[in-house]
Chains A and B, each alone.
Chain A
Amino acid sequence: GAVVSQHPSRVICKSGTSVKIECRSLDFQATTMFWYRQFPKQSLMLMATSNEGSKATYEQGVEKDKFLINHASLTLSTLTVTSAHPEDSSFYICSAIGVIRNTEAFFGQGTRLTVV
């Protein structure tokens, strides 16, 4: 099956710093990538939808200036958490839908962010 690689898998950062998370589709071109956040024992909450070459669409309540998303190519999307705070600590997961196999969505391994 298609592979989506997300990096890093785990990061600890100091409060006030920024963290960049990368999501790459390794063997297919991703027309759309989704970014989710998951708090313990809760479901995946969609943060934003990212289409290649255009601005991301953010869900209500998600600050676009805090969670910067860039989808510069059909194989790479990045999420930057700016000026991170402890309440941003969560599990961040990306998902990609392909150009041809657009009926399937594949997930990255997730990034566990801890802000101290």
Chain B
Amino acid sequence: DAKTTQPTSMDCAEGRAANLPCNHSTISGNEYVYWYRQIHSQGPQYIIHGLKNNETNEMASLIITEDRKSSTLILPHATLRDTAVYYCIVRLRMKTSYDKVIFGPGTSLSVIP
């Protein structure tokens, strides 16, 4: 059922930018791309979402390609507290009124001192 593909793991040096890619080649229509992260033993945390344009908030930036088939989450200055599993999500259209959110395996980001 997964509609996104992400690298299994990545390393990033502390203080450097972390660039996390995601492919969502079957994205369509008005589907938004969402990013969450999960720090060990905690619940997932919302980071950012976008449709077509690049987005930025206090946590991260989201770059979406023009064809919308892929995106990159950027943590501009990674810290040790950014070590987590990062999930890129699009929604799965259902026949019911609710469109299911699918969490794939995500990317395990390790920020190294």
Query: Is chain B a partner of chain A in the same complex?
Result: no
Residues of B within 8 A of A (CB): none
